Every structure is written in C-alpha cells, then in structure tokens.
Amino acid sequence: MAIEANGKTFETDEEGYLANLNEWEPAVATAMAEAEDCPLTDEHWDIINFLREYYEEYQIAPAVRVLTKAVGKKLGKDKGNSKYLYELFPYGPGKQACKYAGLPKPTGCV
C-alpha cells in the first residue's frame, strides 16, 4: 500500500502505517487523516507532536494508558482522559494517532 502527500508517494504497510518512519512529514498526517475523513485540528496536532517527541526520546510508541496519563500531565487534566482522546481519534488514540504520527503500532495493541 501507499499514500500520496505533498506530491510524493509514501509506502505503508497493510494497515496503513508508514513503512519508513524517517520519511514522515506533516503532510503525511494530513493526507492520512483526510483519507479517514478526520480533519486535523490543533488539538490533534498536540497529540501527534507529543507522540513523535515520546518516540524520539524512548524509541517506543506509548500504550494508550501511558499516553492518557502523559497528556494529562502535559496538556492539562481535562485532556488527560480517554473520552477526550477518543473524541479526537475515534478509531482509537493509540492506533490512529500513532499512524498519523508515522510511528509503529503501540506495543501490545492488536
């Protein structure tokens, strides 16, 4: 599979995750989100950017539980709950947000 963004073609796996993490650019997230009819707002970008920073530091995509806790700490308690994250990413914050962020599927995520 592949996805078109910014005039380029990016290879993805069968579930739509970017094949090469280093190729990621913001346009990839935008294109993936459009394909799933989920236009990205600043709130989405907060989470996507957080995930990228987390991956950069620890080399793993955080589990949803970890994401929720960390978002609550960084962006405020009102955002650190699964309701808020599921409203932003209805397909599941771990799967969907990690995909847009160009990360692999979180460990333990089926």
Active-site positions? 109
- 74 part of the interface to another protein, by CB under 8 A: no
* Closest C-alpha to 63, from 100, 104, 108, 97: 108
- 20 part of the interface to another protein, by CB under 8 A: no
> Where does this chain touch another protein (CB under 8 A) — which range of 9-17, 25-33, 69-77, 95-103?
69-77
**Residues in Cβ contact with 103 at an 8 Å cutoff, skipping those fewer than 6 apart:** 17, 21, 51, 52, 55, 61
- 6 part of the interface to another protein, by CB under 8 A: no
In the list 27, 38, 40, 63, the residue contacting another protein (rule: CB under 8 A) is 63
Q: How far apart are CA 79 and CA 92, in angstroms?
A: 15
Min. distance of Cβ 70 from another protein in angstroms?
7
Min. distance of Cβ 7 from another protein in angstroms?
31
Give the number of other CB atoms < 10 A from CB of residue 93: 23
